[in-house]
A and B are shown apart, each in its own frame.
Chain A
């Protein structure tokens, strides 16, 4: 009980800033006075993590909630700038060998841990090998398989010494890859590649379980972690780039109930909330504080290409063409999603522009055409009547509404009655993993912003590919794209791969996700990445 009330002072502080917020009403247009007033505003922000972050250990975290906090606490060799592009972080320089396989990083002279000790190349070497160590049981270890010897070590087939990560001296880290990897810089911004302090982690296995003794190297340090209640981080005075960091203190509350966090936002107990319920969106959609950001993910229905009737590509395409995606995003999901006629969502910058805009759409909704295709497909298979179809989804209100709409649309355009079935999430994952479905709902979100992470989903040997669709040409193009060093050529290969995928359609895309936010007008400079929660490192509180 004492524990729960020990941080009373911290809370009072928070409450007092909120109370203060009610009294002042700054509307001055005089820029100078505004600047002056801003100086006295306590630079603190309260966010909502929704739930307890499962792990604040970069090696073990696999979810965006943990990643949200960890991204503020740590910094990798590369970090993301305000535009979301990878820029050098803890490293000050990088040299890539001519064959693109060997990277030599120089760790910044002034890179320091939050306890003041220097960040060394050995810390990175230790951290990465720790991720790969089978005993660590890191779920994201496979993101490191591009490194020489990494996969073999993680699968217990080689020793740790064969892993191509080596600290040449305190400040020089050499990384050897199996093959050149065009998006290695993007990959390095992922938390799995963050360093951990070797001496600390070696001596204390539970170093990441509590705030006490927790050491990080990024913009913030962990000062308090009340489990299932709140995480507080404060500016790290040892961070090399601390002058760029404006927000002094960030608090994540863990409020899971949508009505509750909306009300906490309304009373000022939270400064920024995400994932608003549909009724709130309807209420707030014209507010200045409301914001919709595209999210780098695709909502889709997978087809099992070995089960009738979806063994026939024409029938798959007919289904894809038969539904009205605009109606789904405008009338059902209603939070700013975009209809999807391809797999890779918007948001990837390429030399020729946005990847999706360059690639365009791969099919059109057309009832007549769809019906024709269905007839052709049935003729090819010699069916007079289409085998019965069951559409599966995991139990959730939104999925149910979308599935029911699709059922209705298919009935109207194709004259086919399909059945619906739903299962609880974990059971559903097991059922679909065994390809025990005909047509099943799935969502896929890119952990970093590159078409590769999206398209990899349907590789022949991808554990994610539940459709049994295997296409040598597609796999081949993807493999070529991964080693292609020339950006323009690489994106061309990826476009070709997507074309192959969309010609066969082992799935039908429905929409590209979006994320919605309410942000207090007191804050400026918050960055809303398209595949992560907001980054508040550069945020500024401009009014109390």
Chain B
């Protein structure tokens, strides 16, 4: 019963969001087919609109879209004329997901490490050093960090390719650039909750029992301190795997992130709706 209820709520949410997106989207002035300065004769435009069912009245367009959505058909892309939204997502999502997972792992491993080291060395040099790194991680935006990474790791030291996609080596720099901010956030989360946890009575009990400091930190400390981070990982995970516009642009990555932004500038209605629905499905 619970599951049925959840699934129904999910469909309701998707329907509401798809409808709202549809309405807002149609309010943006502009035409998807007037792409360059070149204006097409009205009859030619009519033919193209007919191809995408955009010549029909809005309620009909809406009904058609919802019908196709039920069958998981997100329709054709207007910008990529020969391809449809389903394939755009099928092509882009694995790339974004791989990148997102890698950066999530980097963020978690290094974030935890930094946070724990900082907490255990509270108010000492290592704490300040780790938190200094974290502050930098939060305050330096990825579009600054990414070119810096490229400049040193690719151009100066020639260790990794500058950009593009294909081998694993191509995914290293973008994963690092993408991971920095979440890593810093995780580090600060862990530090504060670790400090909290280490003051608890059960830690004192563990110390009194004569457990080794490592056992205390791993078994009692981290396990309890990680809870707030876990609640934060859910949405972070979705944000990371659905792609990021900036990182994808800088590193020329064929991911999903660009569609969220480009589709709006192109007035590519099916892609706007498709990516939104896809994102909602994940959240």
Contact = CB atoms under 8 A, between A and B. Distances in A.
Nearest to A269: B162
Given A5-B166, A54-B79, A426 B30 contact: yes
Given A137-B47, A263-B162, A63 B29 contact: no
A16 B231 CA distance: 46
Interface stretch (B116-124, B153-161, B207-215): B153-161
Interface string B90-109: 01101101100000000000
Interface in B19-44: 28-31, 33-44
B37 A257 contact: no
B37 A54 contact: no
Contact of B94 (A1, A55, A442, A444): A1
A264 B48 contact: no
Kindly name the residue among B33, B81, B83 whose own CB sees the greatest number of chain A CB atoms within 10 A: B81
B254 interface: yes
B31 A255 contact: no
B39 A229 contact: no
Given A54-B81, A142-B41, A257-B252, A426 B265 contact: yes
Contacts of B97: 1
A60 B162 contact: no
B167 A5 contact: yes
Contacts of A11: 166-167
B269 interface: no
B40 A4 contact: no
Interface size class of A (residues with CB under 8 A): 35 or more
Contact of B165 (A208, A229, A433): A229
Kindly name the residue among B92, B158, B254, B258 whose own CB sees the greatest number of chain A CB atoms within 10 A: B254
A206 B87 CA distance: 12
A257 B164 CA distance: 11
Given A229-B164, A263-B150, A3 B81 contact: no
A60 B87 CA distance: 19
Contact of A137 (B48, B83, B254): B48
Contact of A206 (B82, B258, B265): B82
Given A137-B48, A209-B82, A444-B37, A259 B147 contact: yes
B98 A254 contact: no
Interface in B227-282: 249-255, 258, 265-267
Given A4-B165, A11-B167, A264-B163, A254 B80 contact: no
A138 B98 CA distance: 37
Contacts, number: 179
A429 B29 CA distance: 10
A156 B94 CA distance: 43
Contacts of A155: 43
Contacts of B88: 227
A208 B80 CA distance: 11
B283 to A, nearest CB: 22
Interface string B113-139: 000000000000000000000000000
A56 interface: yes
B58 interface: no
A433 B39 CA distance: 8
A444 B39 CA distance: 11
Contacts of A141: 44, 47
Contacts of A52: 80
Contacts of A335: none
Kindly name the residue among B30, B42, B50, B155 whose own CB sees the greatest number of chain A CB atoms within 10 A: B30
A229 B30 contact: no
A260 B254 contact: no
B164 A255 contact: yes
A464 interface: yes
B80 A4 contact: no
A261 B147 CA distance: 11
A312 interface: no
Contacts of A57: 81-82
B250 A62 contact: no
A429 B50 contact: no
A427 interface: yes
B30 A427 contact: yes
Contacts of A54: 79-81
A267 B154 contact: yes
Nearest to A60: B81
Contacts of B251: 260
B165 to A, nearest CB: 5
B124 to A, nearest CB: 40
A430 B31 contact: yes
A255 B167 CA distance: 16
B147 A139 contact: no
A425 interface: yes
A491 to B, nearest CB: 24
Contact of B83 (A227, A256, A444): A227
Contacts of B250: 257, 259-260
Contacts of B168: 5
Contacts of A266: 155
Contacts of A433: 34, 39
A62 B36 contact: yes
Nearest to B52: A137
B47 A134 contact: yes
A385 B63 CA distance: 55
Interface of A: 1, 3-5, 7-8, 10-12, 15, 52, 54-57, 60-63, 134-139, 141-142, 154-156, 206, 208-209, 226-230, 253-257, 259-261, 263-264, 266-267, 269, 424-427, 429-431, 433, 442-445, 463-464
16 contacts: A4-B254, A15-B161, A52-B80, A62-B36, A137-B52, A209-B87, A226-B165, A229-B164, A229-B254, A261-B252, A264-B164, A269-B164, A426-B34, A430-B31, A442-B37, A463-B41
Interface of B: 28-31, 33-44, 47-48, 50-52, 79-83, 87-88, 91-92, 94-95, 97-98, 147, 150-151, 154-155, 158, 161-168, 249-255, 258, 265-267
Given A259-B147, A426-B34, A445-B37, 18 more contacts: A5-B167, A5-B168, A54-B80, A134-B50, A135-B47, A137-B48, A139-B40, A154-B43, A154-B44, A156-B43, A209-B83, A228-B92, A228-B253, A230-B164, A256-B249, A260-B150, A429-B37, A464-B39
Would you list the 10 A-B pairs with minimal beta carbon distance, nearest first? A426-B30, A228-B254, A137-B51, A55-B81, A255-B252, A463-B39, A137-B48, A209-B82, A229-B254, A11-B166
